[in-house]
Structure formats: C-alpha cells, structure tokens
C-alpha cells in the first residue's frame, strides 16, 4: 500500500508536460471533529494519488486545510472522494484565478496538531461559533460604512503586494501573532464597530472570527472564501474591486494578480515590483520581492554574500550551513536588514505603477525534454562531467540540457563523449558517460535530451 511519493519534483514535472492535460489549482478547508487524523490522512492519499492530485494538505482533529492541483478531467471524480465525508459534502472549492500546471509537484498530506496554528490553549473556545459570512457585493457595501474596521489576517509578506483599501495590515510573520495584537488594538470597539476580516481563502478568518466573538466582539464579519473567491465574484458580477494588487498564494507562483496596480517595490532597487522570489542560497532561502533586472544581476540572491556562496562547491555550502537550526532562523519570510525597500505594517493604498501586460502569466518557458540520467561526478581540473544513463539512449549530435537548483538550466550540443571509458557515439541504459562541460555541475543535476 503506497502512502508516499515515489517521484522527484523534476520527474513529476516531466510527466505533467508529457501528459499535456490542463490542471486546475484549487484550495479548500473545513473545520470538523476528526477522531483519527492519521487514518483519515492515509485514506485521502490512497483516494487522491490515482487521480494525480498534487498539493500540500494538512489534517488535524479540528479539520482539513488543502491547497492542490489536479487534471481538469479528474475534477468530478475528485469531488466524489470529498462527498464521501459528510463534513466535506458540497463544500466550496476555491478555484485559482490563474492556473499553472506546475503549481504543485508532490502530494504531501501531513497530520498536524491544528490546521491553523493559533497559539491558543483555551478549552472554552468554540472554533465553530463563527462570524457572518459576506459575499463580494455585501463585503464591498460594508466597507463603505464608516462604522467598519477591516483587518487583514495574513502576514506582512502577503499584504505588502496587495490588500483591501483602508485595511489594518499587522506587521506579523504568523497568524498566531496577529490575534493578541488586534484584540488589544481594538479592545475599545467591541460593542459599536463592525469588525470585518479577510484572508487568502477564508480559513484563517474562520478561526479569527470565532476567536473575536469569544473575546466579546458583537458585530463580526468575514469575507466568504477569502480573496480567491472575492476575485472570482467581482469578475463574474462586474463589481468594483476594493482589493488592489496581487494575492499571495502558497504554491510556486507566489501570487496571482487581482488588479493591475503594483503597490510594492523591489526590495533591492526600489522600483515598482510585486514578484516574490526565494534567495538561491539554500542556507538563506529568504523570501523577498525582486524585479527582473535585480534577479538577473543578483542571480536570484538577496545579497552579495549569498551570491558568493552559490558559486561555492556543494560540499562547502553544506559546511557553512552545518550547526544552523532550520525553521524561521533560515527560512525567513521577508524580514532582513538586507532588504532596503521592505515595507510592512501600515501600507499605502496608492499604486506605484501599473502592470504592463495583464494577460500574461509569469511562467517558465516549457522545453520539450526527456530525462536521460543524473550527474555522478564533476572533474574540476578537466572540466568533465560524469553521468549515469537511467532512461533511453544518448547519441552524438543530441541537444542536451543539464538542470539543477544551483546549476540552473544549461544547454549543450553533444559533440564527443566517452562511454564506460572508451570513446563512443551511443550510450545506453546503465552506461557511464563522460563529456566536457564548460561549467560546474552538481550531484543534484539531471541530464535531459531536448526534442528537436
């Protein structure tokens, strides 16, 4: 009984490209009492793996939180698997504004203590006693009421690239930080103000609305389905968007555009920009906003120090990381003194620029390629790479691609090679192949043959 992934991200991406099927990206959540989360998790994996579902899913005794993608052809079969559980039957599914076949490349279902970490330890808190759900039209109307306070329950790196006009945007890195901050900030308005909240897909607001009702707030409202559902409704109903900019999403796209307004800046040069990237240095991996010019000049790095590190050998990079604890100490979410133009907390509602090509989605150019093998060694002095052929054949004259997280994507025309130590024109499954490579390769690199 298979309960785990057997393919790497690169291999999965290759299969997706070869299949040529449109994939849907969607998210959903449900608060419910799940007696045995581990058993529930395994049942979901067995049901979804054959349907080619990929994504990041958390389950806990309090419910389920899922962001995933699947072939459009399998949508109704997938929905049938949800309807088998009463608490997920006919549940709202938030379909993404923009779709990307590579939004997720693994199916990961994890059991957690809670589906949304809140830092609360209060047995009297009822997470199902929620506020009033508002659809886009009603949400727009209540925002016009001077008696309304609207709060963004996302984190600083999310709100920086897009938010509702006039919203309180807490300068926090986690949801749990925002609850006591907002409770203290609004303690004098429990009786007479409309407390209106929103988040990406609704799951954080669902818990926050219950929390603030528990704290004594009388008029608590939340945006139904979050920003994702709001964007869909304003388009379908031709409504004015009170949201400006991009909505941060937790897949490799890191954002989908709601309006053409750019409200943030490149953290390195200050030019208008709202594209997030992660620092190429695996020992840093800082999430920050970087324009295309800085991306090219800095090689996806957040600073000159990290840029130097990525050109070190993999062994030396690992040595530098040794002894450093993982988590927020390494994988920070946009908080660093290296980011000169970082803004968080109180954010402006004024656009800095306008997106020039609103119909284009930033996607990687898809190259038709076939995975042939993997890197085994690199002979530095001779500038020669050693590869093992694990699939099909390699022939003199083939166009090849060497690809890896540090190496990037490097194309070559294969003019000469040695197969198992002797010069040859053909390499087959299981052969060891060496040929000249004018750049350093790593053991994580893959060897692809490009289709003509």
Which are the catalytic amino acids?
Answer: 199
Q: How many CB atoms lie within 10 A of CB 137?
A: 11
Nearest Cα to 348, choosing from 261, 433, 270?
Answer: 261
Nearest Cα to 251, choosing from 226, 219, 276?
Answer: 276
Tokens, residue 247: 């909505």
| Beta strands at 432-436 and 384-389: parallel, antiparallel or unpaired | antiparallel
User: Tokens 């002095």 label which residue?
Assistant: 381
**3-state class of 440 per DSSP?**
coil
CB crowding 298-314: b at 16 or more within 10 Å, else e: bebbbbeebbebbeeeb
Instruction: Determine whether 64 is exposed, middle or buried from the number of CB atoms within 10 Å of its CB (0-12, 13-18, 19+).
Output: buried
**3-state class of 389 per DSSP?**
strand
Within 292-425, residue ranges assigned H as helices are 292-298, 304-309, 314-321
Measured CA to CA, the distance from residue 102 to residue 13 in angstroms comes to: 7
Instruction: Answer yes or no: are the C-beta atoms of 355 and 268 closer than 8 Å.
Output: no
In degrees and rounded to multiples of 5, residue 378 shows phi and psi of -130, 125
Measured CA to CA, the distance from residue 67 to residue 294 in angstroms comes to: 30
The residues near 174 (Cβ < 8 Å, ≥ 6 apart) are: 117, 155
CA 74 to chain centre: 22
């Amino acid at each position: 009984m298979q309960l785990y992934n057997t393919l790497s991200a690169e291999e999965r991406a290759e299969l997706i490209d070869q299949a040529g099927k449109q994939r849907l990206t969607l998210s959903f959540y449900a608060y419910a009492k799940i007696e045995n989360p581990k058993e529930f998790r395994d049942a979901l994996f067995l049901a979804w793996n054959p349907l080619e579902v990929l994504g990041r899913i958390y389950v806990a005794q309090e419910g389920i939180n899922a962001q995933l993608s699947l072939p459009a052809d399998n949508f109704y079969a997938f929905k049938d698997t949800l309807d088998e559980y009463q608490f997920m039957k006919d549940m709202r599914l938030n379909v993404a504004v923009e779709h990307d076949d590579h939004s997720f490349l693994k199916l990961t279902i994890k059991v957690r203590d809670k589906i949304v970490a809140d830092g609360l330890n209060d047995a009297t808190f009822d997470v199902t006693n929620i506020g009033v759900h508002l659809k886009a039209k009603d949400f727009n109307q209540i925002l016009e009421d001077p008696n309304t306070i609207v709060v963004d329950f996302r984190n600083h790196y999310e709100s920086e690239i897009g938010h509702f006009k006039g919203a309180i945007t807490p300068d926090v890195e986690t949801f749990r930080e925002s609850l006591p901050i907002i409770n203290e900030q609004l303690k004098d308005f429990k009786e007479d103000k409309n407390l209106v909240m929103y988040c990406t897909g609704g799951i954080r607001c669902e818990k926050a609305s219950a929390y603030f009702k528990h704290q004594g707030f009388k008029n608590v409202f939340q945006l139904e389905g979050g920003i994702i559902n709001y964007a869909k409704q304003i388009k379908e109903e031709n409504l004015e968007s009170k949201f400006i900019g991009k909505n941060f999403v937790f897949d490799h796209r890191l954002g989908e555009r709601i309006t053409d307004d750019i409200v943030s800046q490149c953290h390195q040069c200050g030019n208008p920009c709202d594209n997030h990237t992660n620092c190429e240095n695996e020992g840093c991996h800082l999430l920050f906003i970087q324009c295309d010019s800085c991306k090219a000049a800095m090689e996806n790095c957040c600073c000159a120090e990290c840029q130097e590190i990525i050109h070190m050998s993999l062994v030396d990079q690992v040595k530098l990381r040794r002894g450093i604890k993982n988590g927020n100490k390494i994988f920070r979410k946009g908080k660093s003194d290296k980011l000169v133009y970082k803004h968080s907390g109180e954010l402006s509602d004024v656009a800095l620029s306008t997106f020039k090509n609103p119909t284009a989605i930033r996607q990687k150019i898809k190259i038709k390629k076939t995975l042939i093998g993997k890197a085994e060694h690199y002979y530095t002095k001779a500038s020669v790479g050693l590869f093992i052929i694990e699939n099909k054949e390699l022939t003199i004259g083939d166009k090849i691609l060497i690809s890896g997280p540090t190496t990037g994507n490097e194309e070559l025309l294969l003019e000469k090679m040695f197969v198992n130590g002797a010069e040859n024109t053909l390499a087959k499954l299981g052969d060891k192949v060496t040929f000249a490579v004018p750049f350093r390769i790593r053991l994580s690199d893959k060897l692809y043959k490009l289709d003509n």
